[in-house]
Amino acid sequence: MIPFSAPENVKFCSRCATPMETRQIADKPRRVCPSCGFIHFTDPKVGVGVFVVNEGKILLVRRTMHPEIGKWSIPAGFLDAGENPAETAVREALEETNLEVAIEELIGVYHNPPGQGGASIFIMYKARLLGGTIQAGDDADAAAFFAPDDLPEIAFASTRAAIDRLKAKLATD
């Protein structure tokens, strides 16, 4: 197994173009440049999503992209360097559903193990619906609100965990 901390596809130094080699750095193998000493650190991919409940129903989109193509998830996307996670979540909701939302709170930060989601770290926000007409867009081919007890096949463990949490909260309210 190739360690995630030393990906073999990092073949050349991004600073001086010397072929990289794998060395033990502290507690992990890393790709290191033998010429200039540059160490390649693998950064996690961070995703953000927005969990919208309106009139007791959950906003979901059907994915047209891998991973989990054809399954349903909350509107979500990747966070780029320098972006504000909450603003990105609002933008993703608009791009994927044509709905305007406002962030209310942070639901949680989730870890997706390798191979179990597109993002290794996923930040999920709760938002309220402000307006717009629902219409699938961007990398979704359908968008709809679903009752918590009548859900389609859900992608990603983080979305399933948030829905389970919501169901538990609704049962106690």
> How confident is the model over 8-17, as pLDDT tens digits?
999 999 999 9
Question: Are the beta carbons of 48 and 75 closer than 8 angstroms?
Answer: no
> How confident is the model over 127-165, as pLDDT tens digits?
999 999 999 998 899 999 999 889 999 988 878 888 887
Q: What is the DSSP string of 22-87?
A: EEEETTEEEEE-TTT--EEPPPPPEEEEEEEEETTEEEEEEE-SSSSTTSEE-SEEEPPTT--HHH
> Average pLDDT in the 112-122 region?
73
> How confident is the model over 17-39, as pLDDT tens digits?
999 999 999 889 999 999 999 99
Residue 161 CA to residue 173 CA, distance in Å, equals 19
The chain-wide mean pLDDT, for the chain, equals 89
How would residue 114 be classed by pLDDT, with cut points 50, 70 and 90?
low
**pTM score of the predicted model:** 0.80
Residue listed under structure tokens 């409940």: 53
Which domains does the chain show, CATH number per domain? 1-42 (2.20.70), 46-172 (3.90.79.10)
pLDDT > 80? residue 56: yes
pLDDT computed for residue 73 by the predictor: 93
